[in-house]
Amino acid sequence: MPGKPFKKVAFSCYPVRDMAKARNFYEGVLGLTPATKLHDQWYEYDLGETTFAITMMTAEGFPKPGSQGSVAFEVDDIESLVERLRTKNLDFISPEICDFPTCKAAFLKDPDGNMLSLHQLKQLGN
């Protein structure tokens, strides 16, 4: 097969029930900055080389709120971020930051029950 047919993940999208509540969580609590919106039904957040979106669109083929697997947001300082977010009484899935061989991660849910990860790669070989 010539060349690589897939370059990157263009975007990930989570379905939500209440856009105001979802935006408050992703913008007000997590601190994401909205980049694009479509008719108050779709909000995108640019994250470097990819985009994360939330939507209330219900057309056929769109998943239902709370049904998504997981999106992982890469962060610089997972310990400080988790400490700050714990003061907001968020629904963390694990009480501790998970320490894996190549990364650290924390898992929580958004207001609709969609799971998300906070992820920090470790500097290996130093």
Kind plus residue range of the DSSP H or E element containing 22: helix 19-23
- Residuewise pLDDT in 10s, the chain (126 residues): 466 655 677 688 899 999 999 999 999 999 999 999 888 889 999 998 889 999 998 766 667 777 776 788 999 999 999 999 999 988 898 888 999 888 899 999 899 888 888 999 888 664
Q: Could you give the CA distance from residue 67 to residue 55 in angstroms, rounded to a whole number?
A: 13
The fourth-level CATH superfamily of domain 11-121 is 2,3-Dihydroxybiphenyl 1,2-Dioxygenase, domain 1 (3.10.180.10)
Distance in angstroms (rounded) separating the CA atoms of residues 107 and 125? 26
> Chain-centre distance of CA 69, in angstroms?
11
What's the pLDDT score for residue 38? 86
Q: What is the pTM of this model?
A: 0.74
Q: Which two tokens stand for residue 109?
A: 């849910």
What does the H/E/C string look like for the chain? CCCCCCCCCCEEEEECCCHHHHHHHHHHHCCCCCCEEECCCEEEEEECCEEEEEECCCCCCCCCCCCCCCEEEECCCHHHHHHHHHCCCCEECCCCCEECCCEEEEEEECCCCCEEEEEEECCCCC
Query: Which of 49, 52, 104 minimizes the C-alpha distance to 82?
Result: 104
Helices (H) then strands (E): counts for the chain? 2, 9
